[in-house]
Structure 1
């Protein structure tokens, strides 16, 4: 009689998701690029959100319903300047906008995650702690820098005034509070070489 062998289907473990965040001028994007150089995939939540608001027709309709048709320009593209000015000092409207956009980004991330083969991936997002997305991650990695350094970087990079940068920073969660919540911290106060060394040391120490 032939022996029947039951084969159990082996499934690969899901990658560990590391939440990567940092305030304006912290160097978060630079660290994300270093992480990619070291061979790990990075999902750029903020960039994907910018794309999704233009690609998803259902999302467009909801955003127009909340902020008006002016949320999109004559070419039908998301008007970031108009939206930013509209919600900057309106916490309730900003919250409602996030409630529209972030679920769509979450679905997009889940689809991206299914395609990954590395044991560890990184999810870059500016609002990791504010939206409690760190609770959905294996670990959180914060890129931080002294306020005066961050301010100068943004002024040099974006041509903004000191007051404009200060106003944006005041709206964000304080570095002190983020540091309390972070599992791993990269201090970006010196050189690019030091930043890369810190990044390499920390990401390869995550177990």
Structure 2
């Protein structure tokens, strides 16, 4: 299976890109979704997290209390390290399995941390969805109802824009309107389908 990685800073329009590729019938494995799946109710990882941090991080309905866990790991580096060492291998294994099971011409791994983690090792082509920092900020404030300060803090924690672009095999320019994006994606899909066919 030919695997393509798609990443981009917050508000760059990564989801708009992957939604379009799904409309073309392409399997998209979203690392954020997988990260939520592996700590869902009844999953072994959730039991381990509860044993380690205490039952107060489980809600009455038996789900993970993300806010309570976030508070712990933001204030305690060792807690964050422990959690990452538990979850990263499980997430990676689930991503690999879902990509392996894909039935489309090529498969996409969508991940905000594609280049910050070893997830880029799972893909043959890195696509970066790019938008100016002003646009990233404006889109995210509108979408998430968050303050500019919060968004700027998230952007500062992500890989710098120029560094991300340097690591890209293909760049999708998402500084214009939806029509411009769609036109790029039609060409991209044709190109990736051909590359995937040739690599068989």
TM-score (norm: length of structure 1): 0.84
Quick one: structure 1 residues 87 and 121, their matched pair in 2 at CA, closer, same or farther if it must change by over 3 Å? Answer: same
TM-score by length of 2: 0.86
Deviations 1:66-107 (A, max 9, x none): 544333222221122222333346555434323222222222
Aligned residues: 193
Quick one: which of 17, 28, 51 aligns to 2:3? 17
1:71 to 1:110, Cα distance in 2 relative to 1, 3 A = same
Q: Contact conserved, 2:41 with 2:64, CA < 8 A, in 1?
A: no
Is 1:172 paired with 2:158?
A: yes
Partner of 2:22: 36
Asked which structure has the greater CA Rg, the reply is 1
Relative distance call for 1:108 and 1:100 in structure 2 (3 A) is same
Which blocks of at least 5 consecutive residues in structure 2 are unaligned? 196-200
2:92 aligns with one of 106, 110, 121: 106
Q: What is the alpha-carbon distance in structure 1 between the residues aligned to residue 58 and residue 37 of structure 2? A: 13
Equivalent position SS for 1:25: coil
In the alignment, which residue of structure 2 is the partner of 1:69?
Answer: 55
In structure 1, the partner of 2:64 is 78
Distance 1:111 1:177 in 2: 29
From the superposition, tell whether residues 150 and 91 of structure 1 become closer, same or farther in structure 2 (CA, over 3 Å).
farther
Distance 1:106 1:162 in 2: 32
Distance 2:170 2:74 in 1: 30
State how far apart, in whole Å, the 1-side matches of 2:42 and 2:127 are: 30
Please state which structure has a larger fraction of its residues in helix.
2
| Residues 133/124 of structure 1: CA separation in 2 closer, same or farther (3 Å cut) | same
Structure 1 unpaired stretches of 5+: 1-14
* Distance in 1 between residues matched to 2:134 and 2:53, nearest whole Å: 34
Return the offset for 1:127: 0.8
